[in-house]
Homo-oligomer: A and B are copies of this chain.
Amino acid sequence: MADEFSRIADYFAPLAGAEGLGLLDDAAVFTTPAGRELVLTVDQMLEGVHFLTGDAPDLIARKLLRRNLSDLAAMAAVPVGYLLTTALPPGIGEDWLEVFAQGLRQDQDEYGVRLFGGDSSSAQTHISLSATLIGHVAPGAALRRNGARAGDLIWVTGTIGDAALGLRARRGELADATGFLTRRSLLPSPRVGLGLSGIVSAAIDVSDGLLQDIRHICKTSGVAARIEESLVPTSAEAAAFGREMLEARLTDGDDYELILAVPPENAAALRHACGSLQVTEIGVFLDGEPDVEVIGIDGAPIVFTKQGWRHF
C-alpha cells in the first residue's frame, strides 16, 4: 500500500475543486456565493455499522455522499462541495481505493459537487469514513424541522421501506429477484434540487425510519402526527412481502426520501415542484403530544415494538 501522500496525490487530488488547493495545503478556501447562507452537515459510514464488509467500494463512496446530500436536500440547500475522511486498515489496497475514488467521481458529476479537502489515515481493523457536505441557500430559506403546524399535511417523496428489505436481502434473509431492493439499500436517491422553500413548512429526510423521523418533526414543532398505513407509498417489490414486513418498512430507515409538512393549500405547488418524482400524502399533523399514530388498514391504530433506528 502506498503511503498517505501517494494516496492523496493518486486518488483524491484529481477529485479536488479549486477550493481544495490541490490537496497540498493545510485547509480549503471557499468563497460563499454572494447573498447566500452556508449549510453544513456531516455523516459517517463505518464498516460493520453502516455498511457490510465486502460491499463494493464505489457504492460505499456514493452512499456516503448521498446520505449527506439527503441532509442538504432536507434543508433545501444547493450542494457544492465536501471534505472527506478515510481511515483504512492494512487489508485495504490500491484496487479498493481506485474503485472508491471512481464512485466519488461518479456522484460528484451526478450532483455537481467537488472535493474541498480531507484527512487520510490508517486504521487498526475497520474502515471508517466521513463526509462533511457544504451547500448554500437563500437567507432564511433553509427548511427546518420545527415549522410544522397542526393542519399541515404529511407528504413523502418516493417509496418507503425498500432499503429496509434490501438490507435483509443483502444479508440473505429474503429474496430479491430483480435486485431492486438491494439497489435501494446500497444507493439511495437524495432528493436535492426540488425547490421546496416557500411551499413546505418543515422537512426531514428519512434516515432513522419513517415513524422516528416524523416524530423528530413532532418534537421540534410541538405537534402530533397521524398517518395511514394504506397511504404509505410502497414499491411493488416491497409490497410483495406483505404486512409481515410493515414494521421493518416503517421503522428501519435508510430510505433518504423526504418527509414534508405541507399546508393544504400548497399541495398543487408541491406536486409541481416535484415534477415527475412521486410524492404522496400519507397523513396530517395535529395538536397533541409529539408522537405518531399509524392507522392500520382495518381503521385501528397499530402498536409497533420498535420506534426506529438509533445508535447505542
Residue A31 lies at the interface, judged by CB distance under 8 Å to chain B: yes
Contact A71 B27 (CB under 8 A): yes
CA–CA, A121 to B128, complex, Å? 11
Given known contacts A3-B312, A220-B24, is B44 in contact with A121 (CB within 8 Å)? yes
Residue A41 lies at the interface, judged by CB distance under 8 Å to chain B: yes
Residues of chain B lying within 8 A (CB to CB) of residue A74? 26-27
For this chain, the copies found in one complex come to 2
Residues of chain B lying within 8 A (CB to CB) of residue A40? 19, 27-30, 83, 116-117, 132, 134
Contact A27 B77 (CB under 8 A): yes
The A210-233 residues at the B interface (CB cut-off 8 A) are 216, 219-220
Instruction: Pick from B26, B29, B203: contact of A145, CB below 8 A.
Output: B26
Residues of chain B lying within 8 A (CB to CB) of residue A43? 85, 119
Stretch at the interface among A136-144, A192-200, A261-269, A292-300: A136-144
Contact A139 B310 (CB under 8 A): no
CA–CA, A134 to B41, complex, Å? 12
A36 to chain B: closest residue by CB: B32
Given known contacts A121-B49, A204-B26, is B39 in contact with A3 (CB within 8 Å)? no
Residue A177 lies at the interface, judged by CB distance under 8 Å to chain B: no
Residue A102 lies at the interface, judged by CB distance under 8 Å to chain B: no
CA–CA, A125 to B220, complex, Å? 33
Instruction: Pick from B120, B130, B133: contact of A85, CB below 8 A.
Output: B130
Contact A26 B71 (CB under 8 A): yes
Residues of chain B lying within 8 A (CB to CB) of residue A30? 37-40
Contact B31 A38 (CB under 8 A): yes
